[in-house]
Structure formats: structure tokens, C-alpha cells
């Protein structure tokens, strides 16, 4: 039995049984290592050696959480809630309430999409925007599973389709690895090839909005741990805006111009601005910042454990075996071939939690296989791009699901697996399989 399949299935099964995701990743990695023939000692060493892979990302999210809670001292979250509640109006006004739902969800969707390209900060906006809006979402009785589905769409669909921001990185990785595997494609071909699969995600989003989660869901109005209620003034709000702009601006400069990961220092700049502006006193800063780090601690530990999990899977060598073995039972059936390649991509991405990392793993085998089966270059792009992206939505270890959970669970009323991963898996991965196969057959 393939170690990758066993490890991923064990991890997913335990997660669905509400076992903590970190523990599920550790146990799944151990099962995969043993099945892969590594032995106990090598498995543990491989897992331990891989823990540092996402350490920088985990620290970034912890500092983002600290910055978000520090912002609450300026009164910005309270101002956002107060303004949003004015838009919401009376509970009895169903027309205004319906308009408010559409407006809030549209804003969240727009910001999520822009975080991938216009202002490519990825999930950095979530701890700043979402926790303050939870009371508004509760007032509107919006199902948080819908909100999670909307955010995840904004975090994944844009990079699949649009060649800018994170999409530019994804498309470049796809083009480079395909060229190294023997198929030269133009960058301009990738958006066209990914249009049909991305349309599947649009269909899934519409199903979530108009069918799956259209009914109201009741949540308790309760305080968010660590977040303070503060009176605000025009001066404090201006300081908060300066801090946010400084944080995002420095992050963009470091990432886009200098070429380094800027999330850590971007958060630090924002915190320093709040310090300098007097929003935080030295005597209370330790409590505030620690509370903020606690807000994002879950996502950090999952990212670290996911890195160890991926390290064990790579050490077994069974990822390459899984990719290669898929070609042996496909035969000459194009539809079966497309379906098999997408399922292999799903397993790998669900396990390692990164579609960007999946591309180099699958391309070396999938490009020759697609050429052998007679797929066109456009169809090949679509198959490989979709196989890499599929599983990003729905994976317990992906920041495309961890990010929404970190924001929506700030008050402890949103479960990572059943309220984020399962909804996003159903609404996006199933359409991606269907539309990915369609794209493979018609392009």
C-alpha cells in the first residue's frame, strides 16, 4: 500500500473524528513513515527535520495576531462594528437585512480576491478584518460556513486564473516545470487553459451562496479572547489606518522589491507605529501582544506540523511512486487518465497543504503521460494546474483553510474541520474534478 495514501487517509479520518489537527498530522505522518518502510527512528527524524520548513510562516501569523489585537486598542474594530451595525439596522427590517448580508459578504469576497493580486498579502488581512466583524455576522445570522467558503474562494481561484500576484508565481512555476519536463508553453496560454476549471469553483461558490448555506444560523454574541473594547477618537482611527498602511506597505516592499518574506517585519512595523503613537502603554503591551499571538497560535502549530508531515512523505519516496504508478493502469483512456491525474494531485495537495509545492512533484510524470495520451498543450496545462490546485481548498493543512478558521473561530464558535474544510472540500474539489475533466476533453 502506498504510504502517501495511508498517511493522508489516517490524517483526514482522525480530523473528521474531531481529533486535533496537529495530532492528526503527527499520527498520519508516523503511519505513513512506517508503511513507507522508514522505521520508527527515521520517521521521527524526518518529521523533526521538517518542522522548521514553515516556522517563518508560523511566526508571521503569530505576529499578525499580535498586531490585530494591538489595533483593537485604537478602537478601530469598534468603529468598524458600529458602522456596520448602522448599515444592518433593525432586525425586523428584512429588506435592509438582506441587503446588508449581500454587502458584507461582497466586501469579504472582494478583499479576499484582492489579497492575491492587487495587494498580495495573502491571509494577512484575516486577523485584522474578520474578528471585528463577527458580531455583525452574528447579528445578520450569516452561516460562518458560507463566510469560510467565500474567503477560501478568494484565496485560491485568483491564483489559478490570473497571472498577477500569487497567480503570477503559480503560473511561472507551472510553466517552468512543464518546460523542464519537455513541454514548452506560453505564459499567455495558462489563464485560458485554467478558465474552465476555475469556472467550476465559481459554480461551487454559487451553490454555497444560494443553496447550501442560505438559511440563517444562530451564534452567541460573545467577546473575543484578548481583544479589548476601546473608545475611539478621530486621532486614534487615523493612527490605526497609518499602522495598517505602514504594515501592508512594508510587507509589499520587502516581498515584491527586496524579494524576501515580509510578513514578519510588516507586522512588526505596524506594532511599532502603534507603540510610537501611544495606542499601547509599555506596561500593558506584553499582555496585549501575547493575547494576539494566542489568537493565531493554532494556525502556526498546524503549519509547523504540516511541514513535518510533508517531510516524512517525501522521505518515503512514495509520492513519486504514486505519481508514476497512476500511468500503469490508465491505458489509453483519456477521460480515465485525466480523472486519475486529478485524484493523485488531490491526495498530494491534501497531504502537504500547498498547491505550489505539488506542481514540481507531479509535472515530471504528468507531462510525458499527457503527451502519450494525446492531450493538447492546453489540456495538459489544465490537467496539471488543476491537479496541483485541487485539495488546496479542503486540506486541513492548507493556509487557504487555516486562515479563514483563525478569523472565524476567534470567539470559539467555528470548527476547522467541519465548518471550513468539509464545506470547502465539497464545494470546490468536486467541481474541480468535474470541470478539470471537461477541460481535458474539450481543450
Main-chain dihedrals φ then ψ at residue 82, nearest 5 degrees: -60, -45
Is 80 exceeded by the pLDDT of residue 179?
yes
For 50, 75, 76, 278, the CA distances from 232, given in Å and listed in that order, are 45, 5, 7, 13
Confidence of residue 332 (pLDDT cuts 50, 70, 90): confident
At 326, the pLDDT band (50, 70, 90 cuts) reads low
pLDDT level of residue 196 (50, 70, 90 thresholds): very high
Residue 234 burial (CB < 10 Å; 0-12/13-18/19+)?
A: exposed
Query: Which sign does the torsion angle of CA 242, 244, 247, 248 carry?
Result: negative
DSSP string, 295-346: HTHHHHHHHHHHHHHHHHHHHHTHHHHHHHHTTTTTTT-HHHHHHHHHHHHH
What's the mean per-residue pLDDT of the chain? 82
What's the pTM?
0.81
- Alpha carbon distance 336, 50 (integer Å): 35
CA distance 73 to 70: 6
Parse the chain into domains and list their residue ranges: 56-166+220-297
Separation between Cα atoms, residue 201 and residue 205, nearest integer Å: 6
Helices (runs of H) and strands (runs of E) counted in the chain: 22, 0
**How far is the C-alpha of 64 from the C-alpha of 41, rounded, in Å?**
36
- Radius of gyration for the alpha carbons in the chain, expressed in angstroms and rounded: 22
Measure the CA–CA gap between 37 and 316, rounded to whole angstroms: 7
Average pLDDT of the segment spanning 268-297: 77
More confident residue, 386 or 70: 386
The pLDDT tens digits for 14-67 are 888 888 888 888 898 888 888 888 888 888 888 888 887 667 777 777 787 777
Amino acid at each position: 500500500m502506498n504510504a502517501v495514501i495511508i498517511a493522508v487517509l489516517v490524517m483526514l479520518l482522525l480530523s473528521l473524528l474531531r481529533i486535533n489537527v496537529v495530532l492528526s498530522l503527527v499520527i498520519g505522518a508516523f503511519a505513513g513513515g512506517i508503511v513507507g518502510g522508514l522505521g520508527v527512528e527515521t520517521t521521527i527524524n524526518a518529521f523533526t527535520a521538517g518542522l522548521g520548513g514553515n516556522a517563518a510562516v508560523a511566526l508571521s501569523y503569530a505576529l499578525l495576531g499580535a498586531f490585530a489585537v494591538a489595533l483593537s486598542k485604537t478602537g478601530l474594530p469598534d468603529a468598524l462594528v458600529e458602522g456596520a451595525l448602522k448599515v444592518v439596522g433593525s432586525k425586523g427590517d428584512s429588506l435592509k437585512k438582506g441587503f446588508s448580508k449581500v454587502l458584507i459578504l461582497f466586501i469579504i469576497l472582494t478583499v479576499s480576491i484582492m489579497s492575491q493580486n492587487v495587494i498580495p498579502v495573502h491571509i494577512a488581512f484575516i486577523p485584522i478584518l474578520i474578528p471585528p466583524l463577527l458580531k455583525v455576522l452574528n447579528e445578520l445570522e450569516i452561516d460562518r460556513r458560507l463566510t469560510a467558503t467565500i474567503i477560501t474562494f478568494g484565496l485560491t481561484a485568483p491564483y489559478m486564473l490570473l497571472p498577477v500576484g500569487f497567480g503570477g508565481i503559480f503560473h511561472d512555476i507551472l510553466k517552468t516545470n512543464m518546460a523542464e519536463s519537455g513541454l514548452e508553453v506560453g505564459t499567455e496560454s495558462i489563464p485560458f487553459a485554467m478558465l474552465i476549471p476555475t469556472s467550476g469553483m465559481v459554480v461551487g461558490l454559487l451553490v454555497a451562496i444560494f443553496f447550501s448555506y442560505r438559511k440563517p444560523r444562530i451564534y452567541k454574541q460573545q467577546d473575543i479572547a484578548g481583544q479589548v473594547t476601546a473608545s475611539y477618537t478621530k486621532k486614534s482611527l487615523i493612527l490605526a489606518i497609518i499602522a495598517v498602511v505602514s504594515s501592508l506597505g512594508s510587507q509589499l516592499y520587502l516581498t515584491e522589491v527586496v524579494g524576501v518574506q515580509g510578513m514578519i517585519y510588516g507586522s512588526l512595523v505596524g506594532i511599532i507605529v502603534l507603540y510610537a503613537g501611544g495606542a499601547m502603554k509599555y506596561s500593558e503591551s506584553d499582555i496585549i501582544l501575547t493575547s494576539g499571538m494566542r489568537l493565531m497560535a493554532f494556525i502556526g502549530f498546524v503549519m509547523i506540523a504540516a511541514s513535518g508531515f510533508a517531510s516524512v512523505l517525501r522521505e518515503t519516496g512514495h509520492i513519486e511512486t504514486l505519481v508514476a504508478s497512476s500511468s500503469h493502469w490508465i491505458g489509453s483512456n483519456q477521460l480515465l487518465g485525466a480523472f486519475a491525474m486529478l485524484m493523485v494531485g488531490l491526495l498530494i495537495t491534501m497531504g502537504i497543504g500547498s498547491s505550489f509545492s505539488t506542481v514540481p512533484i507531479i509535472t515530471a510524470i504528468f507531462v510525458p503521460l499527457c503527451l502519450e495520451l494525446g492531450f493538447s498543450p492546453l489540456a495538459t496545462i489544465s490537467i496539471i494546474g488543476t491537479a496541483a490546485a485541487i485539495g488546496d481548498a479542503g486540506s486541513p493543512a492548507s493556509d487557504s483553510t487555516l486562515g479563514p478558521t483563525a478569523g472565524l473561530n476567534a470567539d470559539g464558535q467555528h470548527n476547522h474541520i467541519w465548518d471550513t474544510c468539509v464545506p470547502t472540500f465539497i464545494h470546490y474539489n468536486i467541481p474541480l474534478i468535474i470541470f478539470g475533466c471537461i477541460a481535458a476533453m474539450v481543450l
